[in-house]
A and B are shown apart, each in its own frame.
Chain A
């Protein structure tokens, strides 16, 4: 059996019976925790409050009575952080239109509701890998490790702008221009280190 993944699953689905679905029972022991939300707004609040933890979201796509649909919730999650992998879990027909909505909205992957537990767990594992290995997550983690005090001090000057590590964290999560640029810079450094362009002294 694989070692535990330190992630919290946040499962948002308005169909109450899914609360007891077998796949949740199955992965219970392999993750840090599972949080189930029938109301999307509550799920979003949880994600916002726990953004510094590793979260993998499993998101239903069609909501019956809520005015928020999967598409909207996906957008809201991306606004908190694009680094949270969202697995869309849907019983609806996945056609090109719906699929494009999912991926435009930065969904990580999509699983049909008639999937086996194995398939679901695989999707979750992939999401976990992404959290572990994506350079942005790595950057995020490094910053989170620096401690509150250091993170709120000025860290970097560029032109006439000053950035703290928290600013950089947010930028990386939002993947705005500066966030993208910083990511590119780190990748560039990593590439050079990797190919060891260092000249002999």
Chain B
């Protein structure tokens, strides 16, 4: 059994490149740990793409190999209501590359993808989408905190919880930050905004096992 995972991180994203790299690395780390922890011999095939390896034109060819069956896909970078960007380019939009992610469970840390883009993706056979309908705030100077929070979803999902429950865990992480008196008030308020902007679209009852392929 195998888990296919695609991580797309905009390492040169304006202002947030470093955070995206952090998110990418943590994700990959977790995937490694997942492989090791699963004692039923599940392998993880993870494909990582950054600005130098993926763009609007080759995205389809990069992702198609895995989209015939379930796979986990993580996006880290700038976004809008109708697009996800890489290196300043809109590589996934409501009309471009939107069909490439069939059978995926998409998890994003990007602004506003949880709106129109998510709807279009779901219409195009994406199994589930977790992202933000508004801003995905990331205050300066505490990227590690932000990263830990974002990873709590991945960790919960990989541990076997379904998407809905994993998102609940994510929300709890945000709340911990909100109540963390060592963080600054503005920062805490922005984490609250993140939490309130979380959306789940598609089938929230899926678990990681539903994505395993033979």
The verdict on B172 contacting chain A, using a C-beta distance below 8 Å, is yes
How many chain-B residues does the 8 Å CB contact rule pick out?
22
Q: Which residue of B lies closest to A154 (CB)?
A: B140
Chain B 101-120 residues near chain A, CB threshold 8 A: 111
Residue of B nearest to A160 (CB): B14
The answer, yes or no, to whether A155 is at the interface (CB within 8 Å) is: yes
**Contact segment of B28-36, B47-55, B91-99, B187-195:** B187-195
Most chain B CB neighbours (cut-off 10 Å) among A142, A156, A197, A199: A156
- Docked Cα-Cα span, A197 to B195, in Å, equals 13
- A112 nearest CB across to chain B (Å): 40
**Also in contact, A186 and B139, with CB within 8 A (given A157-B15, A162-B15, A192-B178):** no
**Is B155 interfacial (CB 8 A cutoff)?**
no
Cβ of A1 within 8 Å of any chain B Cβ, yes or no, is: no
CB 8 Å contact bits of B37-54 with A (1 = contact, 0 = none):
000000000000000000
Question: B residues within 8 A CB of A160?
Answer: 14-15, 78
- The answer to whether A185 touches B140, judged by C-beta atoms less than 8 angstroms apart, is no
Are the C-beta atoms of A199 and B172 separated by less than 8 Å?
yes
| A107 to B110 CA separation, bound complex (whole angstroms) | 42
Chain A residues closer than 8 Å to B78, beta-carbon distance: 159-160
Q: Is the CB of A156 within 8 A of B139?
A: yes
Once the chains are docked, how many angstroms separate the CA of A168 from the CA of B187? 12
Sort A-B residue pairs by CB-CB distance and give the 7 closest, nearest first. A185-B189, A189-B189, A157-B15, A186-B189, A189-B192, A154-B140, A155-B140
Cβ contacts A to B, 23 pairs, < 8 Å: A142-B185, A154-B15, A154-B140, A155-B139, A155-B140, A156-B140, A156-B190, A157-B139, A158-B137, A159-B111, A160-B14, A182-B186, A182-B189, A185-B193, A188-B189, A188-B192, A189-B178, A189-B189, A192-B178, A197-B175, A199-B172, A199-B175, A201-B172
